[in-house]
């Protein structure tokens, strides 16, 4: 199994497990995490990575 096939399988598992809900939940936690800087940093980083992956996938389709 190639690396691309493994990545596609992992993506499908994440989406099936509620991957679409991750962004709103992370956004809400990020907005409420002002009094806990490490949590705000972690959620900001996760949201950034998700955004970059989405951009990459959109460019890949073109």
- Count of structural domains within the chain: 1
| Domain with 62 in it | 23-62
What pLDDT is stored for residue 55 in this prediction? 87
Flag whether 13 is in a domain. no
Flag whether 9 is in a domain. no
pLDDT tens per residue across all 62 residues of the chain: 677 777 777 677 766 655 567 888 889 999 999 999 999 999 999 989 988 888 888 887 66
Flag whether 7 is in a domain. no
Flag whether 14 is in a domain. no
Long-range contacts formed by 45-53: CB under 8 A, 24+ apart: 46/22, 47/23, 50/22, 50/23, 50/26
Q: Is the dihedral of CA 6, 21, 46, 36 positive or negative?
A: negative
Flag whether 46 is in a domain. yes
Residue with structure tokens 């460019």?
A: 59
Flag whether 17 is in a domain. no
What pLDDT is stored for residue 31 in this prediction? 93
């Amino acid at each position: 199994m190639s690396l691309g096939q493994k990545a596609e399988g992992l993506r499908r598992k994440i989406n099936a497990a509620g991957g679409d809900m991750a962004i709103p939940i992370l956004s809400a936690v990020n907005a409420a995490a002002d009094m806990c800087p490490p949590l705000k940093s972690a959620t900001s980083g996760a949201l950034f990575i998700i955004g970059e992956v989405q951009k990459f996938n959109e460019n890949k389709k073109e």
